[in-house]
């Protein structure tokens, strides 16, 4: 049952988004149901709520099972979880390796008997052991964690590493070990000295934090993970295909898809001057970053330049760029790029290039998508408008123009009020507070 109520500029809906939506409607979605199943496994910045992919799946796949859903910027896997629960095959792509591991864990059914055997052993070993041999490579680890918590985290990580030696190797063992790595990762920020509510990992000297105790927190989190993954495993058809790939979705889609045709795309790409996911995950990467070759800040910094929308660029990357010579072909966007370039005397050249490259990468991505989607397939994309160098960028409008010159037609655009700003931080006006996420519904010609 859908409950709607007009409230100021928003239409309030309780839990269910109506399938038919008037253009430019903005919803206030009232829900306490954003962490069901495996959705709540790991904190993650700027993710959309499960209601958005569920709306698109219900509207366009019409309960016909076995279709193919793609999320090319899958983040922590919200679309993929909803796709599998609805009975569809899913492919997720993301450039961030921790995000990919979170998505894999959230979407992989588990052998419950093996899970219980491994977790019973793990809990027993944690309770009777005192220390571990795993040591983070971070030279300043005692800035980020107390000595007592370092010792306890080392114990948990050492025992998780021991699982293949004790239980053997194989895909079912690997899936459970990955589940435990993400369960372990999910407690790291809370047991660190770093502020819990900042998108940047830092230790505040004004608001002194008392870190939580790792062993009890991990054991409680483990119980939650077990309960949720067992429930998910019972609901999902084991014959469905779940493929999650760590790569840049702006450039490798054709090779990845291998002649597969996509029925539905649901995604939310990063913002311009995107959230620094690596900086956000820095504490976690100190403890599990070795799984991806990102266990030190130097290695983490080397990875940052690969992310779409990133602001981590060297001068040589934009030295030859000028918004007066290199144009997007969208007049309003080109004018804004020129204003950024001229008006921001400190960072205008760089910021103009970041914005240009963001839209150029999205265009390359959409051009590839047009060749991979079935005719009349839908591409549902969630974006927020923001500011660069105090110049407002109407990202949704510019993406619409880019999509429409690449064989897509926008049939609807509606928004929803952003409520849970996990790890909100003061951007000091540089990017603005994004109040509305816009859901843009394109159909492939």
The DSSP call for residue 193 is S
Helix residue ranges per DSSP H, 108-252:
112-128, 141-144, 147-167, 171-191, 214-235
Tell me which residues of the chain have a pLDDT lower than 70: 1-8, 250, 274, 420-434
DSSP letter (8 states) at residue 357: H
Q: Match 């019409």 to its residue by tokens.
A: 62
Determine phi and psi for 101, rounding to 5 degrees: -65, -40
CB of 206 closer than 8 Å to CB of 198: no
pLDDT the model gives residue 8: 52
Helices (H) and strands (E) in the chain, counts: 16, 12
Helices (H), 236-276: 253-257
Both tokens of residue 157? 């990580």
CA distance 127 to 21: 54
pLDDT, residue 440, reads 97
- Phi, then psi, of 93 in degrees rounded to 5: -135, 135
Token couple for 322: 């000028």
For position 434, what pLDDT does the model report? Answer: 64
Range list of H helices, 211-257: 214-235, 253-257
Instruction: Compute the distance between CA of residue 171 and CA of residue 177 in angstroms, rounded to an integer.
Output: 10
What is the reported pTM?
0.92
pLDDT tens digit sequence for 31-86: 888 889 999 999 888 788 999 999 999 999 977 889 999 999 999 999 999 999 99
Q: How far apart are CA 439 and CA 155, in angstroms?
A: 44
Residue 126 tokens read as 């944690």
42 DSSP 8-state letter:
S
| 202 close to 59: Cβ distance less than 8 angstroms | no
The per-residue pLDDT for 33 is 83
DSSP string spanning 378-410?
EEEEEE--EEETTEEE-HHHHHHHHHHTTTEEE
Q: Give every CB contact of residue 239 below 8 A, 6+ residues apart in sequence.
A: none
Look at the alpha carbons of 191, 197, 200, 202 in this order and tell me if their dihedral is positive or negative. Answer: negative
* Continuous segment of H or E residues that includes residue 71: strand 68-71
């Amino acid at each position: 049952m859908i409950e709607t109520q007009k409230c100021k500029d928003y239409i309030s809906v309780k839990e269910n988004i109506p399938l038919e939506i008037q253009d430019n409607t903005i919803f206030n979605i009232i829900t306490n149901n954003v962490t069901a199943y495996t959705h709540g496994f790991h904190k993650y910045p700027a993710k959309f709520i499960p209601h958005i992919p569920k709306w698109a799946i219900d509207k366009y796949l019409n309960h016909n099972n076995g279709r193919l859903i793609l999320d090319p910027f899958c983040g922590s896997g919200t679309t993929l979880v909803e796709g599998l629960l609805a009975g569809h095959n899913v492919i997720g792509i993301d450039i961030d390796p921790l995000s990919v591991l979170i998505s894999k864990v959230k979407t992989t059914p588990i052998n419950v008997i093996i899970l219980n055997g491994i977790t019973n052993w793990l809990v027993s070993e944690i309770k009777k052991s005192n220390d571990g041999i795993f040591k983070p490579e971070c030279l300043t680890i005692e800035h980020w964690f107390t000595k007592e918590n370092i010792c306890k985290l080392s114990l948990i990580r050492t025992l998780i590493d021991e699982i293949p030696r004790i239980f053997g190797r194989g895909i079912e063992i690997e899936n459970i070990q990955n589940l435990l790595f993400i369960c372990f990762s999910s407690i790291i920020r809370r047991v660190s000295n770093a502020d819990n509510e900042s998108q940047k990992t830092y230790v505040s000297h004004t608001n002194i934090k008392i870190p939580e105790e790792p062993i009890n927190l991990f054991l409680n989190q483990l119980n939650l993970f077990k309960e949720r993954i067992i429930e998910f495993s019972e609901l999902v058809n084991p014959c469905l295909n779940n493929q999650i790939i760590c790569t840049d979705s702006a450039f490798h889609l054709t090779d990845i898809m291998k002649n597969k045709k996509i029925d539905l795309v649901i995604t939310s790409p990063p913002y311009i001057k995107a959230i620094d996911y690596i900086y956000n995950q820095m504490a976690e990467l100190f403890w599990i970053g070795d799984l991806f070759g990102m266990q030190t800040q130097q290695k983490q910094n080397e990875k940052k330049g690969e992310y779409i929308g990133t602001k981590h660029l060297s001068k040589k990357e934009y030295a030859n760029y000028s918004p007066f010579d290199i144009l997007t072909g969208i007049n309003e966007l080109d004018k804004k790029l020129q204003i950024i370039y001229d008006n921001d005397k400190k960072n205008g050249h760089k910021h103009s290039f970041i914005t240009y490259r963001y839209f150029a990468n999205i265009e390359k991505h959409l051009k590839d998508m047009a060749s991979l989607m079935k005719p009349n397939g839908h591409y549902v994309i969630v974006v927020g408008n923001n500011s660069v160098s105090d110049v407002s960028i109407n990202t949704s409008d510019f993406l619409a123009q880019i999509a429409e010159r690449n064989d897509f037609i926008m049939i609807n655009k509606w928004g929803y009020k952003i409520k849970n700003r996990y790890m909100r931080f003061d951007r000091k006006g540089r990017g603005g507070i994004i109040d509305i996420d816009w859901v843009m519904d394109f159909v492939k010609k």
